């Protein structure tokens, strides 16, 4: 079987794209630049997203009290000990909304990261309502010199769900931000959560068709996890019957069904999410790590003799 993404895995893997683009292993280094979110600081709301506890995915070396350079240096050491060493890194501005600040401040933060000799580009996690033409034009200028990716927390295609999550933006804003970013030829990533309260399996599957029509470069999938010290945890403990928490085998077949409908030009960066056990209430897959689950997904794809985009129209 020959796939349009020019490798033999059964999905369009972002890791293979990176290997082809950079010629070697690339590692992301998470950075906490001290930003907040518009649904936390009162710009559009307060309290933040009901599922979010940033501490659950913030590596130990990330702290806004440290400079960007210090976080990069400590991140390199962190990954050298725990993972395979890489020679090139992407600075991943991950915590909160990393374009929710004046442009001049963004320039200071981003350009400090790019001055580090090990950094070859930026991945900027943000929200669709935190970009404008001036900020995107600046990122366009950077993208002409190095790799730039903007990752939007889309989370759901349904406004009823976004309102329930206290996102403070609608799906139409997601579409506008994605299109404005892609029009500038900037790598455009999105995040999507499966299992959100009130969404049926049919509605989740329909999102494949909706997103396939958009100029998305990469996508990260998250199964819903209930994280400690969030509003969602309180909701779950009060009315657990309103939640559908995926079991592993069920999720594997679900995500393969979804990928069959997904535009094959969209690269998949991640199929599942995980948080440290200390933050976890439910929704994870035991002690299995993301790479182990990925192996199971790829094995199941082989068993089903299927691939991303098989049923894409």
List pLDDT tens digits, range 138-165.
999 999 999 999 999 999 999 999 999 9
Given a contact cutoff of 8 angstroms between Cβ atoms, the answer to whether 268 and 308 are in contact is yes
Mean per-residue pLDDT, 259-267: 98
| Mean pLDDT score of the chain | 95
* Strand pairing report for 226-227 and 280-282: antiparallel
- Axis-axis angle for helices 248-261, 201-212 (nearest 10): 40
Is a pLDDT exceeding 90 seen at residue 276? no
Is a pLDDT exceeding 90 seen at residue 2? no
Is a pLDDT exceeding 70 seen at residue 128? yes
Given a contact cutoff of 8 angstroms between Cβ atoms, the answer to whether 44 and 36 are in contact is no
Mean per-residue pLDDT, 91-119: 97
User: With bands split at pLDDT 50, 70 and 90, how would you rate the model's confidence at 84?
Assistant: low
Pairwise CA distance, residues 12 & 264, whole Å: 7
Ranges of each domain in the chain: 14-303
Is a pLDDT exceeding 90 seen at residue 58? no
> pLDDT value at position 162?
98
Say which residue the tokens 């794209």 belong to: 17
Phi (first) and psi of residue 42, to 5 degrees: 95, 0
Contacts 24+ apart (CB under 8 A), 65-70: 67/112, 68/31, 68/33, 68/109, 68/112, 68/113, 69/112, 69/113, 69/115, 69/116
Q: Which two tokens stand for residue 279?
A: 């933050």
Mean per-residue pLDDT, 205-218: 98
User: With bands split at pLDDT 50, 70 and 90, how would you rate the model's confidence at 170?
Assistant: very high
User: With bands split at pLDDT 50, 70 and 90, how would you rate the model's confidence at 85?
Assistant: low
User: What length is written for the chain?
Assistant: 313
137: Cβ contacts below 8 Å, ≥ 6 apart: 184
Range of weakest confidence among 139-153, 218-232, 276-290: 276-290
Query: Using CA atoms in the order 32, 171, 167, 228, what is the torsion angle rounded to 10 degrees?
Result: -80
Pairwise CA distance, residues 250 & 245, whole Å: 10
Q: What is the DSSP letter of 151?
A: E
> pLDDT value at position 24?
87
Query: In CATH, what is the architecture of 14-303?
Result: Alpha-Beta Barrel (3.20)
Mean per-residue pLDDT, 180-201: 97
């Amino acid at each position: 079987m020959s796939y349009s993404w020019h490798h033999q895995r059964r999905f369009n893997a972002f890791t293979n794209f990176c290997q082809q683009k950079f010629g070697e292993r690339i590692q992301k280094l998470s950075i906490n630049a001290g930003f907040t979110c518009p649904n936390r600081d009162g710009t559009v709301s307060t309290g933040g997203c009901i599922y979010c506890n940033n501490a659950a995915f913030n590596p130990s070396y990330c702290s806004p009290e440290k400079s960007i350079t210090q976080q990069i240096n400590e991140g390199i050491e962190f990954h050298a000990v725990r993972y395979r060493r890489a020679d090139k890194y992407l600075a991943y501005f991950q915590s909160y909304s990393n374009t929710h600040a004046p442009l001049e401040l963004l320039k200071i933060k981003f350009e400090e990261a790019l001055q580090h000799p090990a950094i070859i580009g930026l991945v900027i996690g943000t929200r669709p309502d935190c970009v404008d033409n001036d900020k995107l034009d600046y990122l366009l200028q950077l993208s002409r010199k190095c790799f730039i990716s903007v990752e939007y927390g889309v989370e759901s295609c349904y406004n009823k769900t976004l309102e329930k999550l206290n996102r403070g933006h609608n799906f139409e804003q997601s579409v506008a931000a994605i299109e404005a970013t892609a029009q500038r030829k900037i790598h455009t990533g999105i995040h999507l959560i499966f299992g959100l309260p009130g969404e049926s399996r049919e509605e989740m599957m329909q999102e494949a068709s909706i997103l396939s029509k958009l100029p998305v470069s990469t996508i990260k999938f998250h199964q819903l996890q209930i994280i400690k010290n969030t509003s969602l945890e309180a909701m779950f403990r009060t009315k657990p019957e309103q939640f559908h928490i995926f079991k592993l085998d069920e999720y594997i077949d679900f995500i393969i069904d979804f990928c069959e409908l997904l535009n094959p030009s969209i690269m998949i960066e991640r199929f599942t999410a995980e948080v440290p056990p200390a933050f976890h209430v439910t929704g994870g897959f035991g002690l299995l790590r993301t790479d182990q689950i990925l192996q199971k997904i790829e094995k199941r794809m082989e068993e089903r003799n299927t691939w991303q985009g098989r049923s894409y129209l």
